[in-house]
Amino acid sequence: MSDDPSRPERKNVLLRMLINEMLDQVRELQRHASGPWDPAERERAEATLERVMMQVRSEAVRRGGP
């Protein structure tokens, strides 16, 4: 990947950060999917993922897409 600031993935740093956070949350959920997980902890992780996904959607729409 180039450091060219004109590339789309470099133009919207906030959107890129939110997408990375969303992927981290998905990975966290996946790590716990096969084993026991405290229900309250799982609920917090799912709520965090939902919040981040809403932020990604909002930022993508606000900026006219990724």
How far, CA to CA in Å, does 37 sit from each of 43, 50, 63? 10, 18, 37
Answer whether 21's CB lies under 8 Å from 52's CB: yes
Answer whether 66's CB lies under 8 Å from 12's CB: yes
Tens of pLDDT along the chain (66 residues) come to 445 555 555 678 988 999 999 899 888 888 877 778 788 988 888 899 899 989 988 988 886 654
pLDDT of residue 54: 92
Answer whether 64's CB lies under 8 Å from 15's CB: no
Contacts of 28 (CB under 8 A, 6+ apart): 45
pLDDT of residue 1: 43
Closest CA to 48 of 20, 17, 26: 26
Report the predicted TM-score, pTM, of the whole model to 2 decimal places.
0.66
